[in-house]
Homo-oligomer: A and B are copies of this chain.
Amino acid sequence: MTGHDPLVIAGVELTSRLIMGTGGAPSLLGLEAALLESGTELTTVALRRVQAGGEGSVWELLQRNGIRALPNTAGCFSAAEAVLTAKLGREACETDWVKLEVIADDVTLLPDPVELVSAARQLVDDGFTVLPYTNDDPILSRKLADVGCAAVMPLGAPIGTGLGILNPRNIAAIVADASVPVILDAGIGTASEAAQAMELGCDGVLLATAVTRAADPVRMARAMRLAVEAGRDAALAGRIPRREDALASSPVDGRANLDLAM
C-alpha cells in the first residue's frame, strides 16, 4: 500500500528511515541484535582518532551485516579539528560520508554554530558528503544547506537527555524551509517522540542511547522501527485537523434505523 518511499541522501536510497548510533551499547553482541531489529541501513561510528577496526569491532560488525557506516567527528571542538578528523575517517573507512559534529563544550554537548558552518563549508569543498548535527535554529539549518550539506540533522533536545522534541515549531520550520533531507538527531527518549519527529515532516530519525541504554535494547529497537514507520505513514495520510470543540463521530439525532448501517 505504502509503496516505494525511500529516504534519499546524496543520491543513495535507504529503505529504512531510522539511522542508528552505537554509543552507549554495553556489549557488541547486544548492539548487533539491536541494530538488526531496528532495520537500520546507516549507522554512525565515532572516529575522532581513526584506526581500522579488526575482528570484533563495530566496524567489522557493520560490514558483516551490510550496514553502511557513517563516521562522525564526535568530540571535536573546532572546525579545524573536525576537518582533520573527517579526513582521517575518510581514509580509514573508505567513505566520503561524514556526520559532522562540532560541539562547543563537553558539558552541554551543544553544537558551535559558527565553527559548524565553517567546517561544513570546508568539507563540502573537499568533496565530502556532509550530514551536520545542528541545533534547532532554522537559520543555521538553512546556512548548512546553503553551503552544500547533503542533509541537516537538528536536535530535539540535548544529547542523551531523552527529553524528546523541546521545540516542535522549530523542527517544523526547518522542514518547511529545507532543500535537503531533515533528520531529527538527539533527544529522543521513547517511541512516540520518534513518531512525532516524522509527523513534523522529518525525513528520518537518528538515535543511539534511547535504544542502547534501554533496559531491553532489542525491544526498544523494534519500538523505534515501528514508530518511525508509523510517523511516516501518519505524515503522509493527512491527519484530521485539531479542533477546539468536540465533534460527534456520528450524528446524534435521527439515527433510528441507521445505527447498524454505520
User: Could you tell me which A residues sit within 8 Å of B by CB distance?
Assistant: 1-2, 21-25, 28, 37, 45-53, 56-59, 74-75, 92, 104, 106-114, 117, 135, 137-140, 142-143, 157-163, 166-167, 169-170, 173, 189-196, 199, 208-210, 212-220, 222-227, 229-231, 233-234, 236-250, 252-253, 255-257, 259-262
Q: Are A219 and B199 in contact (CB under 8 A)?
A: no
Residue of B nearest to A177 (CB): B108
**Chain B residue at minimal CB-CB distance from A208:** B249
State in angstroms the CA–CA spacing of A209 and B246 once bound together.
Answer: 12
Distance in Å from the Cβ of A260 to the closest Cβ of chain B?
A: 3
| Count of chain copies | 4
A246 touches B113 (CB 8 A): no
Secondary structure type dominating chain A contacts: loop
Within the complex, the shortest CB–CB distance from A123 to chain B, in Å, comes to 17
Q: In the complex the two chains form, is B214's CB within 8 Å of A239's CB? A: yes
Residue of B nearest to A164 (CB): B242
How near does chain B come to A215, taking the closest CB pair, in angstroms?
3
In the bound assembly, the distance between CA atoms of A199 and B230 in angstroms comes to 15
Q: Are B117 and A114 in contact (CB under 8 A)?
A: yes
- How far apart are the CA atoms of A48 and B252 in the complex, in Å? 9
Shortest CB-to-CB span from A61 to chain B, Å, is: 10
Instruction: Select one of B159, B163, B233 contacting A191, CB under 8 A.
Output: B233
A240–B213 touching, CB < 8 Å: yes
The answer to whether A1 and B218 have CB atoms under 8 Å apart is: yes
* A108, B246: Cβ atoms closer than 8 Å: yes
A9 to chain B, nearest CB (A): 21
Chain B CB within 10 Å — which of A21, A230, A250 has the most? A230
Indicate if the CB atoms of A257 and B109 lie closer than 8 Å: no
**CA–CA, A167 and B248, complex, Å:** 21
